[in-house]
Amino acid sequence: MPKQFDLIVIGSGAGMNVAARAAGHGMQVAIVDNGPLGGTCLNRGCIPSKVMLYPADVIRTIQEAHAVGVHATVEAVDFEKIMARVWEIVLDGRREMAYGVAQTEDVTFFNADGAFVDAHTLQVGDERIEADTIVIAAGARPLIPPIEGLEAIGYLNSATVFDLETPPESLIIVGGGYIAAEFAHFFSAIGVQVTVVGRNPRLVPEEEPEISEVLQRKMAEYCQVYTGYEAVRAERAGDLKAITAIKRTGDAEQDAESHPSNTKTFTAQEVLIATGRRSNADILQPERAGIETIRGGWIKTDPYLQTSQENVWALGDARGRYMFRHTANYEAEMVWTNAFTEHRHAVDEHAVPHAVFTHPQIGSVGLTEAQAQTQAQAQAGHGVLVGIKRYYDTAKGFAMAEETGFVKVVVENETGRILGAHVIGPHAAILVQQIVYVMNSQEGNYLPLARAQTIHPALSEVVIGALGNLRPAGEHAGHHHHHHQDAHGHQDNE
């Protein structure tokens, strides 16, 4: 006989939020996770990577201080101390969760892979468990592309990189998304020679094109950056590892390997593969439970986060949509409400924010300019306004000698509703958050920002300045040039 539970939660990241609520209501809960408690965020994601990245920010701040007349150098970087701090917070978090689970009588932790037998039964190790309600919060794992010879030479991925005891002298990072960009920032800042090889023509391709452009320009100052190159082969080169990549132009004839000018070989001591994430759903065998997946194996859900199988719900990275911990936490709230209360709430995805902790930092929410224009064409009669403000054109931005950063806002013409905002530069994650709050106000328009007094001189003026520069979409070409006519915002504010 299978063991009976009221709820089975697969995955111990944001899935724990649902498990804890259920246990608090006296339900018998099973948690199934093959890894340590805490999921990607705690163990191999947000938390360890940000503990690594903050020292990198400090290093770059010191190195670039000459722009404001301060000459300083970094004497030494204590890699062991950085990694000790990484593991301190990860192991503390893990211990706290393990203690919580052990202390809670109504919770049973199965530290193994789970696979569906039928709609309400899972095979976990050599046990079977069943429940009326199941929540799939199984997450994602690193996607390893088919590079010939890669397994033979060995490589790091975004999980194993945290096990490094000493940094390599040189590193090839394969990938051009946010994970690749963040690790490029960290390793280059601590003195590793970094080469980034990305298949997409631009870095962080989900971001606004202007943001990709600024990031690439800044990253090229401290890394070798090759975009539009697909890694196809890996081999040993003496004591080093070599990656051969082909330029991808989109033209089949030109892209043929026979074109030697299109092929480059990079060598380094170590290789880090950061080419994205793949679904963990294949481990679960959802098809046995009649649970539909979409292309790439992500779990398909309705607007209430229920799968195609009644009383089986999914949240977080397993859905393959917005792979951020804060989004998974929000979805866990929705799943709890929809599965266990009389209320039903559809998921609201109009203002999902994220940040990329590169140098410079990126913060983003909602639609890009291109997405907003596509949406406006579909809903005839809605125009799109875009406003851009450079940090340097505000007093505080000038004070910081911040010459590359900018804020871009995307607004619906008729209603003043904010559709999206995109920031690159210092404190981007905090600046974009100001817009996120307003997007979640009753009307979602920019009136609260327009009515408010903005502290002068502070970086918030860059956000307000962008709203003050609204023009019809497409009219902001060439905004990267210096506009000195407003004298950094002085005369109108003092």
Q: Which residues are identified as catalytic?
A: 456
Which of the 8 DSSP states describes residue 202?
S
Q: Are 439 and 368 in contact (CB under 8 A)?
A: no
Rounded distance between C-alpha atoms, residue 305 and residue 315, angstroms: 7
Q: Are 432 and 355 in contact (CB under 8 A)?
A: yes
Tokens of 172: 């090839």
Which of the 8 DSSP states describes residue 143?
-
H-helix or E-strand spanning residue 53: helix 46-64
Place of tokens 């871009």: 408
Rounded distance between C-alpha atoms, residue 214 and residue 208, angstroms: 10
Place of tokens 């779990």: 299
Tokens of 43: 């163990």
- The secondary structure of 327-383 as a DSSP string is HHHHHHHHHHHHHHSS-------TT-EEEE-SSS-EEEEE--HHHHHHHHHHSTT--
- Max Cα separation, the chain? 79
Tokens of 90: 């990860």
- The secondary structure of 368-383 as a DSSP string is -HHHHHHHHHHSTT--
Which of the 8 DSSP states describes residue 13?
S
Rounded distance between C-alpha atoms, residue 293 and residue 287, angstroms: 8
